[in-house]
A and B are shown apart, each in its own frame.
Chain A
């Protein structure tokens, strides 16, 4: 099929033919076409179906405000639902499919809804589907859900890359129509850093769509000159295909650049889109205006569109919806549109204008004081019915009807910070609010200046205001002369009549629906929107809201401003989820931290586990081991009987120095540190100010004025922040300085009866680490491998004779290999976080599972550690009754009566015969593991009065696992309760 509806001229490149398909049928268009213009050229008027009634629909608009012409673009994992045909740039091989219809666009089974429309009025579903009760979820809702939505997701992962970025400028100009171009030029010539962004593929705005506006220069030439100059300046950045979609606090704007959407697929490695956060000191909104329709019976027929759109299709894309068209307008622009169409070679049979004194502008029949009362042609407009000034009706055969009910300035961004637009009577439209977002000025049609000269004048003035705000001296620009007759309009919202007249096309909201909402008391705009779904479609009601507001005003007898306006929220046009996420997806969702022994552990075939940002070795499987438990049990037993090594670099390490370092630690730990001698380490418990345990760890005193504080892996960042708070905000004059050294040191736990034997072969000869020379809790600086500086701590998490050895991180890899080599004769065994967990549970050491943000020192059995002789964070409030209640939770060990049964972490504790109800709940198991040393599953639990109940039998109940076992409450120290091994 050839392009029957293609006219002469236009801004398309006829030398570049492009092939595309719509619903499987192939067509041809030209470079510069949109899918909408190309379909129109091929006389395809039916392109979509409405949401509720499945009414046949055609193209209404020529830009991003389009409510009807939505398609699924591309196929496979790039299928993109709800894409506006009016903004899709045609490319060769483009595939588009109509949506929300079955089996076909021309015959849609659910158009039956249209027949039932009397039942499906606004809010009908609130009133029914309630009987019988069970049917809502079983029958009614599934039916409704089947019909839900418009386009389909592919349900495959999006294959494209999205980038995000930050741009900074003095002046951001939003929209590159006449006012935007001149505003950018004014600011740029004055030396400001300028960003000019426009959502279209070409800059120029309405100048691309209308007849020439300026004296002595064509639209095209003026745009070309201005853009040329802007492009030549290095203080200007031009962003085409870029929608500034949101105005956020302090001049930050969100913008989406469609880098590759005009291509079949993005170039290799290149992003599909970029989400820019634009940091602007000043912004000038030149977003233009959106034409609005007039509601009349069957005003949604395919072929009925906005007059300005029809004009744009003729001038820019050289296409028309039909050979014979008419215009229905309440303002002069509609007449100018008619004249443009005539000049483009379209037969305009009549201009219909409800104004009795309508001006004669177009060289065609003028029906003044007349209005369109109905339209015929279900799948494509055939004719319209016109009621003449004298009351007679007259049918007119047309293939297209252009409608203009006036223009709504695109004030959205001026209201993103909850400003309310103001009603402007001369235009019968809303203009930007008095309270604008900081640094924002509006110009051109967006500010209500609809004439060409008014637009550029206000554009340059807005730029001057912005420059003034920046304190930049402005160099003015000379403006081209342009027509400047104020646009004359007579508010005219809908043609009276019995039938359905559409306000919100996509969501099928009609004049009747608005009247019904009013009748049922939903009179506030918020209620109206919610009750009728007005303005909630993908076009956000750009062409619908004001009309509906006018109808509501009419029926309530109030003025439109009294009736109110809705709140505008970002985004201006919808933004793909992929763009919001950028590269933070899949494995790159969050960055990864690697330990110094990572590469070595990989070589050993270690299994890794995510611990916050870290990847840690979970266990080290050996050949022949078929189940993870075999590996873990082996590692645990090796530590208890020989020697094991574990990378504990992930623990937070904070270097604390200063004359008041010890006094400072006294503040952040509930136990005392002032008297800790140099060369010694001490366990410390850190409370939040509310008396709940925050973190625990050790502090090693390397010198009078120097400690190394260790934190748990999970809390390293939070603890450092807390310490800075205590210093800067509470005790600013303390002589203490701190900095994180977590990454500076590779640290290994070397644990087990043979650990000293091993270390003696590791540390340089001159160093005495005998039990006497380096007793339990000793710490100090040593050297290894001929003078590599290292730190040695004799601390134990496992309960065995154990040390932690730290070297500068770059030597971490060498150290683990060295340890494994030297330790071979002793059967050294690397162990992972699983074995680490088992060992600490066997020893009864609390970790994150116990320090879960709700446990007090008392709950953890460390109540006595909270010194009352000094002030420390949390000490006062930890004395509150519920935190120190002897009958409250306390940490105990759990051992099944029958050692073949398994203790489950998360199981709850009940007395033998108690009913399993919340009020009988005694507590819960915080951690559990299989102890190869006790040949039994064991656990730690927080149990009411636990400490007083050791030896008693309880039940560990986990209904989600159908598990209920008998267990004994025991001391949390399953292994070596006296701690002899530590000191051996």
Chain B
């Protein structure tokens, strides 16, 4: 099989885990991402197709939806981010591309973002010091791009108040992770 060993953006050989006070931070290297953009005129067709392929309806603006094996996130007008378990380089994007041929443009994003899961009480206090989004009001299913310590990140709410995922651009991941940890220490 493949000779190369993959590195994670923060931990390197192992995904990074930190516990600060009541908060747990977990780097996730095991998810694959692919962006899906509807071709003009195919917007509805894409939604239908996505439903059958991913088993969930395409989310509305500012939302994400979780399915059995894959989840869908609203990235922009007629553009979604699909997430599944990582099986191998480009595999999700290639599979989606075949499925959505002629309907949408698919681009692999697995290594564009590094996902950091944040769980535990205090998540709100932490995020209030890092993002302008009204995190107190974020319900499970909320998904937005915004800035965290000057870096454009995706912020996903998995469970209101207690469980969030930050998707940081991979090259910035260490900086964003550092900001999360340092602020958590100050709570």
Q: Does A touch B (CB under 8 Å) in the complex?
A: yes
Is the CB–CB distance between B2 and A785 below 8 Å?
yes
Q: Does B29 contact A (CB under 8 A)?
A: yes
Given known contacts A269-B185, A657-B107, is B150 in contact with A743 (CB within 8 Å)?
no
What's the least CB distance linking A529 to chain B, in Å?
36
Q: What B residues does A165 contact at CB under 8 A?
A: 128-130
Is the CB–CB distance between A788 and B4 below 8 Å?
yes
What's the least CB distance linking B168 to chain A, in Å?
9
Name the one of A193, A592, A657, A809 contacting B105, with C-beta atoms under 8 angstroms: A657
- CA separation between A938 and B95, bound complex, in Å? 52
- CA separation between A658 and B79, bound complex, in Å? 14
From A16-24, A691-699, A812-820, A915-923, the one touching the partner chain is A812-820
Binary contact track B101-140/A, C-beta < 8 Å → 1, others 0: 0001101111111000000000000001111111011000
- CA separation between A818 and B4, bound complex, in Å? 9
Q: Which of A741-755 contact B (CB under 8 A)?
A: 741-745
Is the CB–CB distance between B132 and A166 below 8 Å?
yes
- CA separation between A164 and B186, bound complex, in Å? 11
Q: Which residue of A lies closest to B125 (CB)?
A: A165
Q: How many A-B residue pairs have CB under 8 A?
A: 148
Is the CB–CB distance between B2 and A786 below 8 Å?
yes
Q: Does B3 contact A (CB under 8 A)?
A: yes
Q: What B residues does A271 contact at CB under 8 A?
A: 186
Name the one of A161, A733, A789, A818 contacting B89, with C-beta atoms under 8 angstroms: A789
Binary contact track A571-594/B, C-beta < 8 Å → 1, others 0: 000000000000110001011111
- CA separation between A740 and B39, bound complex, in Å? 17
What's the least CB distance linking A280 to chain B, in Å?
12
What's the least CB distance linking B153 to chain A, in Å?
10
- CA separation between A818 and B151, bound complex, in Å? 32
Q: What B residues does A193 contact at CB under 8 A?
A: 136
Q: Does B59 contact A (CB under 8 A)?
A: no
Q: What A residues does B151 contact at CB under 8 A?
A: 591
Q: What A residues does B1 contact at CB under 8 A?
A: 786-787
Q: What A residues does B8 contact at CB under 8 A?
A: 810
Binary contact track B85-97/A, C-beta < 8 Å → 1, others 0: 0000110000000
Q: Does B162 contact A (CB under 8 A)?
A: no
Is the CB–CB distance between B3 and A583 below 8 Å?
no
What's the least CB distance linking A956 to chain B, in Å?
39
Name the one of A593, A788, A811 contacting B171, with C-beta atoms under 8 angstroms: A593
Binary contact track A139-166/B, C-beta < 8 Å → 1, others 0: 0000000000000000000000101111
Q: What A residues does B105 contact at CB under 8 A?
A: 657-658, 705-706, 737
Q: What B residues does A592 contact at CB under 8 A?
A: 172, 174-175
Is the CB–CB distance between B39 and A735 below 8 Å?
yes
From B48-56, B64-72, B176-184, the one touching the partner chain is B176-184
Q: What A residues does B40 contact at CB under 8 A?
A: 733, 735
- CA separation between A484 and B175, bound complex, in Å? 59
Q: What B residues does A588 contact at CB under 8 A?
A: 149, 178-179
Q: What A residues does B132 contact at CB under 8 A?
A: 166, 277, 279
Q: Which residue of B lies closest to A596 (CB)?
A: B7
Is the CB–CB distance between A583 and B2 below 8 Å?
no
Is the CB–CB distance between A168 and B136 below 8 Å?
yes
Q: Of residues A599, A658, A788, which shows the largest number of chain B Cβ atoms within 10 Å of its Cβ? A: A788
Is the CB–CB distance between A599 and B12 below 8 Å?
yes
Q: What B residues does A595 contact at CB under 8 A?
A: 171
Q: Does A655 contact B (CB under 8 A)?
A: yes
Is the CB–CB distance between A590 and B128 below 8 Å?
no
Name the one of B3, B149, B175 contacting A785, with C-beta atoms under 8 angstroms: B3
Q: Does A808 contact B (CB under 8 A)?
A: yes
Q: Does B144 contact A (CB under 8 A)?
A: no
Q: Of residues B1, B35, B40, B174, which shows the largest number of chain A Cβ atoms within 10 Å of its Cβ? A: B40
What's the least CB distance linking A653 to chain B, in Å?
10
Q: Which of A387-427 contact B (CB under 8 A)?
A: none
Is the CB–CB distance between A591 and B176 below 8 Å?
yes
Is the CB–CB distance between A163 and B149 below 8 Å?
no
Q: Which residue of B lies closest to A659 (CB)?
A: B39
Q: What A residues does B112 contact at CB under 8 A?
A: 740-744
Is the CB–CB distance between B35 and A584 below 8 Å?
no
What's the least CB distance linking A808 to chain B, in Å?
5
Is the CB–CB distance between B109 and A161 below 8 Å?
no
Q: Which residue of B lies closest to A706 (CB)?
A: B105
Q: Which of B9-58 contact A (CB under 8 A)?
A: 9, 12, 29, 35, 37-40
Given known contacts A591-B175, A593-B171, A811-B89, is B4 in contact with A785 (CB within 8 Å)?
yes
Q: Residues of A with Cβ closer than 8 Å to B? A: 161, 163-168, 193, 269-271, 274, 277, 279, 583-584, 588, 590-596, 599, 613-614, 649, 655, 657-659, 705-706, 733, 735, 737, 739-745, 785-789, 807-815, 818
| Seed contacts A193-B136, A739-B35; 6 additional CB < 8 Å A-B pairs | A591-B172, A596-B7, A657-B105, A705-B105, A739-B107, A814-B7
Q: Residues of B with Cβ closer than 8 Å to A? A: 1-9, 12, 29, 35, 37-40, 79, 89-90, 104-105, 107-113, 128-134, 136-137, 149-151, 169-172, 174-176, 178-179, 182-183, 185-186
Subset of 27 A-B contacts with CB under 8 Å:
A163-B183, A164-B129, A165-B128, A165-B130, A271-B186, A588-B178, A591-B150, A591-B175, A592-B175, A658-B39, A705-B105, A737-B105, A739-B35, A742-B171, A744-B112, A786-B2, A788-B2, A789-B89, A789-B90, A807-B4, A808-B111, A810-B7, A810-B89, A813-B7, A814-B3, A814-B5, A814-B7
Report the 8 A-B pairs with minimum CB-CB distance, sorted nearest first. Answer: A657-B105, A591-B175, A737-B37, A809-B111, A814-B4, A165-B129, A810-B6, A785-B3
